[in-house]
Amino acid sequence: MGEIGPQARAFGKLLVQAGQKIWQILPTGPIGYGYSPYSSLSSFAGNHLFISFDELIEEGLLTKRQLSSFPSFDPHQIDFPAVIAAREKVLFRVADRFAGNNEFDAFCRQEAEWLPDYALFMAVREDQGSRPWIEWPDALRDREFQTLEKMRKKLAKKVRRHEVLQYFFSKHWKKTADFLHGAGISIVGDLPIFVADDSADVWANRELFFLGQDGRPTVVAGVPPDYFSETGQRWGNPLYDWAAHRAGAYKWWTQRMRHSLAMTDMVRIDHFRGFEDYWEIPAEEPTAVRGRWVKGPGLELFRSVEKHLRRGSDSFPGFGKNFRLSEHVIAENLGIITDEVEALREACAFPGMWVLQFQFDAKPMEVPDYYPEGMEKNWVVYTGTHDNDTTEGWLKKAGRAERQRVRNYLMLDREATSRDLIELALRAPAKLAVIPLQDLLGLGSEARMNTPATTVGNWSWRFSEDMVRDETVRWLNDATVRNGRG
């Protein structure tokens, strides 16, 4: 719930002081169910709550006096309903007063593939009391042309409001991204494989998903029982009709990848295994136990996307004949991974993910590529992810044998700490090493970001600059150099 303004740039300065070269972030779309960034109202829009008040003041669109009654919030724990209400009150007022300019008009033209549908979706959603689109009147739900045109006129002020907010987001994002690039920091974004059922994506592209006549999914996404849950995870996202995507030359996916990589330098594709095969759950099933594996589009999708991005355009100069998708993607290959999934990843030349917390269970120590020193270089190593407990929380809860295994491997005469695991990640021969901020700060389970298969109490941990001491910055810089990543 921070801002893509001076605060984000201040964190970028910290990264530079600590000798870092990348900043990996969570998805940046407008949050929906459960306040999750993985349940966004759009795959293309930005989260307007990130718009910077400071930037709006500098642009002459907001005054400090107008913020004099803005409430104070806990800097480390997000009260989503209260924060959303307070920020939207300010942002909506600014957007409604915005007179427009040539830059705004150019933005609307450039984003015409998705922006009109998104802005109308958000305006109608507000008009319908934030009800999911499948509960709207049939003519709106089914996008009857005359009804849409009527609503576009009736809700013209709200439609424009959301166009303006996306313009503000884009402008502030670009300013911060340019600053980070100038400081030598690359941004790693996150692209969830699936989209939320209550999203502009599904409402505007029903033919690309397995939906019934009423718009409800007939089958949904998830994963079978695994490390995180005995009943699996029933995510509930509608599944893609890959035959329809193929018939359209994967245009929607090309647009999505182009949009993501126009914002960030790389993207982590969440649940990469779903492109090889995915767990299909009948929509009426309450858990993920009953389902089946279904083949995905595989290599064909990525070859098609790359081919179309190589054509480039004046509007998207970052793409062209020399574009290589493999230089911009990290494949999240966690969970139940088959030889076929790894073969697809290798055919795409995408680096996979190696999470240290998963490497000290009961696997035999004699397996040569078990520990990081035996890794191939085309990997990205993590101490943990947003779906794991923090490293300190994991170490505290780990069994005695597991902790001893960590101590033995690291040759410690004491209990291991998050800093020990950070050093292990940094010296691994992986392409990149990524450290969750909570691990750098040595925080416990109270700072965990997300617990899979749960819908309450997630995504609310928040960082403030005063949490990072000068000693922490110096230590990370020294550790980065000491382990050959300086």
**Neighbour-count burial for 156-182, b at 16+ CB within 10 Å, e otherwise:** eebbbbbbbbbbbbbbbbebbbeebee
Distance from C-alpha of 297 to C-alpha of 272, rounded to nearest angstrom = 11
> What single letter denotes the amino acid at residue 22?
I
Pick left, alpha or beta for residue 271 (phi over 0 → left; psi -120 to 50 → alpha; otherwise beta). left
Catalytic, 135? Answer no
> What single letter denotes the amino acid at residue 331?
A
Q: How far apart are the first and last CA of the chain?
A: 31
Distance from C-alpha of 393 to C-alpha of 440, rounded to nearest angstrom = 13
For the sheet containing 219-223, what is the strand order?
A: 233-238, 219-223, 277-282, 292-295
Query: What's CA 341's distance to the chain center, in Å?
Result: 21
Catalytic, 387? Answer yes
Residue spans of alpha helices (H) in 98-199: 102-110, 115-127, 138-141, 145-154, 156-182
CB 188 within 8 A of CB 330: yes
Distance from C-alpha of 467 to C-alpha of 76, rounded to nearest angstrom = 10
Q: 224 vs 227, 296, 298, CA distance in Å? A: 10, 16, 20
Catalytic choice (111, 190, 332, 439): 332
Catalytic choice (55, 270, 276, 423): 270
CB 25 within 8 A of CB 187: yes
Catalytic choice (387, 389, 420, 439): 387
CB 119 within 8 A of CB 162: yes
Phi (first) and psi of residue 340, to 5 degrees: -65, -40
Roughly what angle, to the nearest 10 degrees, separates helices 145-154 and 156-182? Answer: 80
Active site residues: 270, 332, 387
